[in-house]
Every structure is written in structure tokens, then in C-alpha cells.
Amino acid sequence: MPESQSDIPRLEIQYARSTQKWIDGSDKIQIIEVFVNNVGSSFITQKDSVRIQVHSPGLKIVTEGIIKRLGPGDQATLENKKGGPISRGPATVTISEHKIISAPYSFNSSYGIHPYEANYESIYSHESPNWYNNAKFGIFIHWGAYSVPGWGDSGSKENYAEWYWWSLNTANDPTNTSGYHLDKYGPNVVYDDFIQNFTVDAFSPKEWVDLFSDAGARNCPTLPRNISPICTGPYTTHFLNGSTQTKKYGFGQWPGENATNPFTNKTLPYTGYVPLTDFIDDKMLPEMNILADMGTEMMWCDIGGPNKTAEFASSWFNRAMIQGRQVALNARCGLPGDFDTPEYAQYNGVQRQKWESSAGMDPYSYGFNRATPLASYMNASAIVTTLVDIVSKNGNFLLDIGPTANGTILDIEQQHLREAVTKYFYLDKFTKGSS
């Protein structure tokens, strides 16, 4: 009896596009993405041997896209790898399996990896590389002089403990950081006095790395602003050259003058002040280039604001390309970037743009907060369910820990990280290149 038309698998090629990505370790063999929908009522499985091919004159298919499993109503993003010179031209996508009902899809393609220019359109064509897309689970670290007082209050009043100095200088601060500071340290202790107590004497890099590896983490970005005791003090944080730079670059909401003791109103000296003619040209841009020249693979900026990110990124992307490296830029450097970075938040649906949600194991603080009850820390079940939800929507999960001033990661955090893998045995596999 002939097979019913309704039982025959049906696939629809929704969209295809060239990318600026290439196969790692190759001579810039380009990746072309194809978005395929299962519009039928049958499951597609690996036994169906469905292959997606991109055809274009003068170009060679290096690797086909293969659908391993696709349920009715679901979409798959597949990659074809193509070799050839930089050019533009028509291309056609076909589905090879004759038992599948489908139609070819034609599009205008750009072939070859183009160098980047210092403008919005060119930088926006850059996207997160596959090594980052496959690093579903990462560890964030917030560790600095603020870890000495370690205060962000608790419950509905809790706020980021790493904002301790900011909270001290904020009127009507809900965390009552000023009250805590006066009771604990008195009015004559200022933020930079905490630096001498940032001892790190229990810090063991190997133990940290072993813990993160055991937890299945695949990346560990660090923010110098948030991990260095020197970069977080009042003398070096408020580095703008007086009101001139504040007005020039529109940093009106950020302090631009000498730091002041919030209790005595006494002006504090700049212990690390360096005179600047121009904040962006003389400080921001050179520091970003220093990080890039160190072999940085991910530039994780914070806040954004006035910048020369287009100039920086085009140069960095091109240098990395020559070196055969694919790098990533987040969305907080002043341009859209390769991936968005919501904090303590998750999207309701699948996002086309890659994204990375960060959250602390603490209910609402990245830095260590001694006011947080141990029972409130994110447990293994919450880690796994949050990860699965984020990854299912094209995101990565960046889970933060806040070590104490001596470099200790709380036992409760270590326990929950390891339990997430041992109790949920599939998590480690899930974080290795799944989609």
C-alpha cells in the first residue's frame, strides 16, 4: 500500500547565510549556516541520513550539514563548510534524501572571510565563534577589596556586594552599607584601607581550576574591574580628569572628581592618578589593546559608554584572524557585540542573537556577601534547570562565585557545583558542544 503523503517527512529551508566564521585549524574554510524547519508530522532521525548541501560555481563542499534528530515543528541550524576565494554570487541549498519532501532554496552568498573595517556595519558582521557557542557553561569570578567587608545586606534589601564603595556614597541606599560600615569600622576607615586585608593567603589557583573543571565549566571570563583590589579602590576608580573629561564624554552620572570620605567629607588623595589629555585615547583604548595583545580570546566589557570600540575591534579582529584565532566581544563595549549579557535574567523564548545570562550562586550578589544565609545559595537542582533553560534558547550560562578576601570559595558553593555534575550525570555531556 503506498505511503500516505501525510506520513512522508517534510522539511523546509527557511534561510541560509554566509558567516565570517571558519573551521578552527583550517585555512579559513568558511562556515555557511542553513536554518531548516520540520514542517511535517514525522520525526527525522539519524537513520534517515538527511544531508544539507550548498552548491555554488567554483566552490567546494568540505563538510555537509547532517540532521541527526528533528521533531515536528522544530528547527535545526546546520553548517556547511566551503572553500574558495573571496567573492559574491548565487548559491543553492538542497536536501539530499529522496524520501524527504523539500524544495531547494536560493540566496546570494558572500564567500571568503573579509577583513574588518572600523564602522558599525563591518563590526556587526562579526559573531560569536563556535568555541564560545559550544561553551554552554562558564564560571564568573568577582573578587576584590570589596570582599573584605563583604556586605550587600540580605532578602529584599540585598544588592551587589561588589558595589560597596558605591553604596557608601549613595543616599538612601537600601542595603544600609553606611550603617554597617560605621558599626563595623567607624568613620575614619575608607575603602582603600581594605586593600591591606585582601590577603589572598588561602588562594590556590589549582584548586579553583580543578573545581571549575569538575563542575563542567568550559570558560571563565574575568573582569579586572571586579577581581583586582587595586582597580576597585576610590583613588583609582575615579580616574577622570576632573569635570573636563566628565562633561566631554557625558559621564555625568559617574563621579569625576577626587574621592571623598562619605562620613567626614574629607578629600582623599589620588594614590594611582595619572594625568590624561584624553580619557578614551590615552587610557581606555591603550588598555584594551594591551589585553588583546596578551592573547585574549574574549573581551568582556562592562557598562559601555563613550568609546572607540569600532577602531579597537576592527584591529583586534583582523590581528586575530591573521593568527588563526577566532575571538569574541560582548555587548557592553559600546557596540552590539557578539552576544548579549543579561544579569540575573533569562529570556522567554529562543533568541537569534547569541546571549549569555550571568547570575551568582548568591541570590543577588556577584561578590561575597556575608549577610547571605547559606541556605539561600543556588543548589544543584537550580544550577541544572537554569542551565537547561538558557541553553535551550541559544544562550550560555555564566555562573558567578564570590570568594572571600583570603581566596576561599565557600564550602556550600563547592558542594553544589560538584553535586550538579555527580547527581545529574548528563550535565557534563550537555555542556560539551550540545545545541
> Do 303 and 239 fall within a single domain?
yes
For the chain, what is the domain count?
A: 2
Output the domain CATH number for residue 97. 2.60.40.10
pLDDT in tens, 135-156: 999 999 999 999 999 999 999 9
> Do 192 and 72 fall within a single domain?
no
> Do 314 and 217 fall within a single domain?
yes
Has residue 224 been placed in a domain? yes
Residue at which a domain ends, from 114, 148, 168: 114
Give the pairing of strands 60-63 and 75-83. antiparallel
Has residue 145 been placed in a domain? yes
> Do 139 and 30 fall within a single domain?
no
One-letter amino acid identity for 283?
Answer: K
> Do 292 and 325 fall within a single domain?
yes
In this structure, the chain runs to a length of 435
> Do 107 and 230 fall within a single domain?
no
Say what the pLDDT of residue 222 is: 60
Say what the pLDDT of residue 89 is: 86
Strand pairing partners for 78? 34
Domain ranges, residue 166: 134-432
> Do 43 and 168 fall within a single domain?
no
Say what the pLDDT of residue 64 is: 87
> Do 139 and 214 fall within a single domain?
yes
pLDDT in tens, 323-358: 999 999 999 998 989 999 999 999 999 898 999 999
pLDDT in tens, 90-125: 999 999 876 888 999 999 988 889 999 999 999 999
* pLDDT beneath 70: ranges in the chain: 1-6, 58, 83-86, 98, 221-258, 270-273, 423-435
Has residue 314 been placed in a domain? yes
Say what the pLDDT of residue 428 is: 55
> Do 42 and 151 fall within a single domain?
no
Has residue 121 been placed in a domain? no
> Do 110 and 144 fall within a single domain?
no
> Do 105 and 236 fall within a single domain?
no
> Do 47 and 170 fall within a single domain?
no
> Distance (Å, rounded) from C-alpha 285 to C-alpha 335?
14
Has residue 106 been placed in a domain? yes
Classify the C-alpha dihedral 199-202-208-211 as positive or negative: negative
Question: 0.75 cut: is pTM over it?
Answer: yes
Has residue 171 been placed in a domain? yes
Q: Is 275 exposed, middle or buried (0-12, 13-18, 19+ CB in 10 A)?
A: exposed
CB contact set of 63 (below 8 Å; sequence gap of 6+): 23, 79, 80, 81
Has residue 124 been placed in a domain? no
